[in-house]
Structure 1
Amino acid sequence: MPIGGIPQWLTIRGDDCANPVVLIVHGGPGNPNTPFADRLFGAWSRTVTVVQWDQRGAGKTFAATRPAEGEALTMAQLSQDGVEVARYAAQRLGKRKVILMGGSWGSALAVHMAMAAPELFQAYVGTAQLVDYYADTAASYASTIALAKAADDADSVGKLQKIGPPPWKDPRAFGVLRRVTRKYEAQGSDAAPKGWFTFGPGYDTPDYEAAYEAGEDYSFLNFVGLAGDGMGPRIDLRKLGVRFAMPVYLLQGEQDLVTPPQISRAYFDEIVAPKKVFIPLARTGHDPNRTMVDAQYEVLQRVRAEATEGGSR
């Protein structure tokens, strides 16, 4: 579909157009869920209509329109794109509002969308909520290096001491920390089912896989910035205000070392909304697993039931 002046890739999957619509705002940035959607969200189509969107600079959108040399991604442009996608999905499916769901990077983008066009959204469901880049990365670094020291893990400690605590100017520093967080999250969380993140039909081609990887690299560099000046370091959701016009549900992995629970919880406590619920997820880190996806679906069913009781659609 033409979104924001370029062709952007959307998929819409559901059994009944009368069902509520959920727009999934993927993380990364640059990591669309579309190649894996059937495995992760296929069962959802019985009760909700799922809209997937490959963001500007990612997946099939990146493949269709590769950014010009030096062209930067911005939160403002991506938020504007997202609002346009939400409006299109609502009109296409005959809804006044859609449910907005974002995770990790997508949770920060989704909050920008919710604040920019609150009239479009029935509820906001955030997972692994990214709140404040500097607060999140500082807490991530402190927790992770403490775990590595407690485990006498000289290799991980050495890598973390080499990059030092944030803020960083080296674009590789975030990736160094992320690799160590995965190691320690794996020790206290349940892994995703085998095969979840294998490219599905229509995406399992060499050309697409190459485009996916190239879009991921492009988007990530725009997130961290070549000198610590990307989209990520500018994220501080409190600057948008903490008053939401729609119910807010935040799901948080208890073992998440990337968007640590204490940062997400502190933000949640400040939020003012018609309804708000904080849901801790046991044995869950930053990345999706069965516990996370099942909890997301349960929240969507709660939103669906509340909408039915309230007479909205």
Structure 2
Amino acid sequence: MIPEKKRSIAIMKELSIENTKQMLMINGANTKNPLLLFLHGGPGTPQIGYVRHYQKELEEHFTVVHWDQRGSGLSYSKRISHHSMTISHFVNDAIQVTQWLLDHFSKTKLYLAGHSWGSLLALHVLRQRPDLFYAYYGISQVVNPHLEESAAYQYIREISDRKRASIRSSLIRFIGAPPWKKGIQQLIYRFCVEMGRGGLTHHHHQSLAVLFQMLTGHEYGIRNMHKFLNGLRFSKKHLTKELYQFNAFASVPSIKVPCFFISGKHDLIVPSEISKQYYQALEAPEKFWFQFENSAHNPHIEEPSLFASTLSNHALYHL
């Protein structure tokens, strides 16, 4: 018997959802592999511009789908109504993207991954349509932004107090504890987080590498950076308030599919202690906790081989 030939895929696909054009990037070594849909972070920070550099191994096991969400990146448009920039609309978008993927690839279910803001959306999606998914991978799982900022602030304050003469110590004392009413306080706080090597990446050179990939890659490049920046501003303006109202303990106490939570040890944007409290309280058929020792907020980018092996080891049944 002649073995079936593998069919790789590498396409960009524009979907029309509720009178908006939304962009997908689909890549994999074999379309017979299961689908893995990523919900990116932010609000407004899509991954299409750089992520292929970090998912070569992942593409051997899954057909990986990235989606620039409504109003973000390649899906940004001045014509998008700010009234549609709500969690409810984004959840409906994600379900429509999922259903299109299942129909297009003749699949019955797929795997769902949510990173940061995307992990918030994922919990709502799973709450509404668990029947569409084999399992969920929550990366830097958002649970309660107020608790997460308070935990990070307390950690930074304690570390900074040991070095009273440091710039970070002065700044963190200046802004005081959250919640903050002024934008400058939030900016100073994020600066302190990045200084503490607990921000987007644990090692600063990795953040610079991501920026380089965005500027030089063919998916975005310099020509599309204005869409990325405009989408970032637009998304944060209209979604931040609703983000800060989220409390997973109250709104999503249970999920009907297996759940895997992956947290970076050094993450101060979404501290692992809060994510782990949610993991421990959550009701699910199966649940697992993974901490990546050399990562901050982007473990799937900072430790891509470990990320790929973690997911593929679990999904072995469907590979």
For normalisation by structure 1, the TM-score amounts to 0.88
- 1:24 maps to 2:35: no
Deviations 1:118-176 (Å, cap 9, x if unpaired)?
Answer: 11111100111110111111111111222222233543233333332222222443332
Counterpart Cα distance in 2 of 1:203 and 1:41? 17
Q: Which residue of structure 1 aligns with residue 268 of structure 2? A: 257
The Cα of 1:218 is off from its aligned counterpart by: 1.6
Q: Which residue, 38, 44, 67 being the options, matches 2:80?
A: 67
* CA RMSD in angstroms, aligned pairs only: 2.2
- 1:202 maps to 2:219: yes
Contact 2:257/2:284 (8 A) holds in 1: yes
Q: Which residue of structure 2 aligns with residue 305 of structure 1? A: 316
- 1:219 maps to 2:235: yes
Q: Which residue of structure 1 aligns with residue 99 of structure 2? A: 87
CA, structure 1 residues 56+171, in 2 after alignment: closer, same or farther (shift >3 Å)? farther
Please give the secondary structure, in 2, of the residue aligned with 1:251.
strand
Contact 2:57/2:308 (8 A) holds in 1: no
Q: Which residue of structure 1 aligns with residue 18 of structure 2? A: 4
Please give the secondary structure, in 1, of the residue aligned with 2:197.
helix
Q: Which residue of structure 2 aligns with residue 42 of structure 1? A: 56
Deviations 1:86-132 (Å, cap 9, x if unpaired)?
Answer: 11111111111111101111111111111121111111001111101
Matches within 5 A, 1:25-174: 25-63=39-77, 66-68=79-81, 71=83, 73-152=85-164, 154-174=166-186
Counterpart Cα distance in 2 of 1:138 and 1:253? 18
Number of residues paired by the alignment? 300
Counterpart Cα distance in 2 of 1:141 and 1:179? 12
The Cα of 1:259 is off from its aligned counterpart by: 0.9
Counterpart Cα distance in 2 of 1:115 and 1:153? 48
Bigger mean CA deviation after superposition, 91-100 or 191-200: 191-200
Deviations 1:13-52 (Å, cap 9, x if unpaired)?
Answer: 1122210100001001111110112202133222210111
Deviations 1:54-100 (Å, cap 9, x if unpaired)?
Answer: 0111001004x5434x5462111111111111111111111111111
For normalisation by structure 2, the TM-score amounts to 0.87
Contact 1:34/1:52 (8 A) holds in 2: yes
Q: Which residue of structure 2 aligns with residue 227 of structure 1? A: none
Q: Which residue of structure 2 aligns with residue 242 of structure 1? A: 253
Letter in 2 for 1:231: E
Counterpart Cα distance in 2 of 1:177 and 1:250? 26
Any unmatched runs of 5+ in structure 2?
1-14
Contact 1:136/1:260 (8 A) holds in 2: yes
Q: Which residue of structure 2 aligns with residue 311 of structure 1? A: none
Please give the secondary structure, in 1, of the residue aligned with 2:250.
helix
Contact 2:119/2:142 (8 A) holds in 1: yes
